Amino acid sequence: MTPDRPPPLRLWRRALAILTTLTPALWLVMRRLAWAALRPAAPRLDALDARAARRLREACERLGVIFVKLGQLLGVRADFLPPPYVAELRRLQDDVMPADFRYVRAALEREFGMPLSLAFDAFDETPLATASIGQVHRARYAGRDVAVKFLRPDTRERLALDLRLLRWWSRLGRRIDPRRQWKLIDDILDAVESGFFEESDFAAEREHAERLRAQLAGLPGVYVPYTVPARCTPNVLTLEFCSGARIADVAQLRAWGVDTDALLNRLVELYARMMLLDGYYHADPHPGNFLVQPDGTLVLLDFGLVRELSEATRRTLYDAARAALGGDLRRVVDCLYASGMLAPESPRAEAERFVVAFARLSVAFNNDTRGRVAALEDLFRRHPGLQFAIPPDLLYAFRLVQMLEGVASNFRPGWNVIADGGDGLAAAFAAFVLDGPPAGSASPFNRLVDTLRFGFGAAARTLADRLGILARVLAR
């Protein structure tokens, strides 16, 4: 539900607050640019960069959700901003300035209709994590340690003010300089608004958490915390507290002796299984949303952003997998067109030559995944007539690959899913060709044949996996 339209006086006050807060940071940025034009090699630039970056990050924190989101987007653009700005703005991912605990207490007591001391046995005033819209505190309820996530006070009202102001400034800018970039700004604001209302619905997030917990219950080495319904509202989500280190804390994981290669493969298998087998997946895999426990168990956090793949898309992927395993490359091409990955105007003959060459790469580079990736890039360059596209149903899936590679780069710079995540992909793919989509899939015997053809021993690495696969085959 969109917030009520804010009154004009509040708009003017908010506009003045934004300009007042941003001016010192922007003034430092302008000084830095002027100094760089006059003396580009001057050592003073580093000091100006550090001050300007810190002021800009602090201004985003004080201004709230939209400005924090914009800072987060800029913080991943190491190709666009100098290192000091990237380092400061990255702190906005999970280290935003916390709300004063007086407001926290008042907000929670309004939600629960009782004093905080009655709602929880104990409540830690120091937050575990802070973000653009939410803040998380550790507490104790019914003898159990819990994590309490709630919507930061006045977030919706401030969002309504900022959206109206930024859209007004965008319209003004379009009149002054009518360029396409203003339409892009409007699109960004629309995306921020829709994403905010999705992520701030904690009742929906609770449903996501419970569904994913049930869905992933049988996957070894992966854990989803349980929710505490008695302390959940549309603005508050209370879950089991799980200890562990952030997945980006490489030093701690290595001190515990965690096998990081196995961990990364588990992460790849987790996401491949969620998307291919169930079509329902956690769509926000940034480093702050994973904990790792000393035994290597991967704990999934933050369920505000979840997406589904349609049954039709998963059936097309399954058909493509069966066709590839059976050597029916023409059927593979059919599936590429059907899924939307190949534009209809792409020449059929060239598409078939591409798929044949692609299949040969898998044999030619059987034990050289990096060589296969390089050859694949060259293959795309040699078929300029093919127009590949990302179907809307798979848009988040492709975005996920980039985010997972960002998480993995903390352990192994340059890591990529295809070249380095082979074991995880193999395990997920074996389950996929065995279980298939929920309707219209092949017979159990054909699935078993597909799995054997793919490489049963490589895909099902443990006796438990093999027994589980056999049990599912016999049950169908």
SS3 sequence of 385-427? CCCECCCHHHHHHHHHHHHHHHHHCCCCCCCCHHHHCHHHHHH
Tell me, yes or no, if the pTM score tops 0.85. no
Q: Is pLDDT larger for residue 132 or for residue 246?
A: 246
With contact defined as beta carbons under 8 Å apart, do 391 and 341 qualify? yes
**Tell me, what's the pLDDT at 111?**
92
- Is it the case that residue 211 has pLDDT exceeding 60? yes
Average pLDDT, the chain: 78
**401 against 246, higher pLDDT:** 246
pLDDT-derived band at 118, boundaries 50, 70, 90: very high
Report which of residues 204 and 79 the model is more confident about.
204
**Residue 257 pLDDT:** 94
User: Per-residue pLDDT averaged across 226-244, rounded?
Assistant: 95
pLDDT of residue 196: 73
With a pLDDT cut of 90, the percent of the chain lying above it is 20
At position 119, the amino acid (one-letter code) is A
User: Is it the case that residue 13 has pLDDT exceeding 80?
Assistant: yes
Statement: residue 223 has pLDDT above 90: yes
Residue 315 has a pLDDT of: 80
Least confident span in 51-55, 133-137, 196-200, 323-327:
323-327
The confidence band for 145, taking pLDDT boundaries of 50, 70 and 90, is very high
Q: Contact 325/449 with Cβ under 8 angstroms?
A: no
Query: How many CA atoms are closer than 13 Å to the CA of 137, on its beta-carbon side?
Result: 21
Q: How confident is the model over 100-117, as a mean pLDDT?
A: 92
Answer yes or no: are the C-beta atoms of 324 and 298 closer than 8 Å: no
Q: How confident is the model at residue 435 (pLDDT cuts 50, 70, 90)?
A: low
The dihedrals phi and psi of 178, each to the nearest 5 degrees, come to -70, 85
* End-to-end C-alpha distance for the chain, whole angstroms: 45
Average pLDDT score over residue span 172-201: 70
**Residue scoring higher pLDDT (195 or 205):** 205
Kindly indicate the confidence band of residue 133, based on its pLDDT and cuts at 50, 70 and 90.
Answer: confident
- The yes-or-no verdict on residue 141 having pLDDT over 90 is yes
Q: Which contiguous run of DSSP H or E holds residue 161?
A: helix 155-176
For the chain, state the CA radius of gyration: 25
Helix H or strand E encompassing 296: none
Strands 144-151 and 290-292, by their bridges, are unpaired
Percentage of the chain beyond pLDDT 70 is 74
Query: Which pLDDT does position 179 carry in this prediction?
Result: 58
pLDDT band at 372 (very low <50, low <70, confident <90, very high): low
Query: Which of the residue ranges 125-129, 161-165, 257-261 would you say has the lowest mean pLDDT?
Result: 161-165
Pick from 187-201, 222-236, 443-457 the range whose average pLDDT is largest. Answer: 222-236
| 245 CB-near residues (< 8 Å, 6+ apart) | 252, 253, 256, 291, 292
84 pLDDT band (50/70/90 cuts)? confident
Q: Cα separation of 210 and 226, whole Å?
A: 7
Quickly state the pLDDT bin for 220 (edges 50, 70, 90): confident
Which residue in 49, 94, 284, 420 is the catalytic one?
Answer: 284
Active-site annotation holds for 368: no
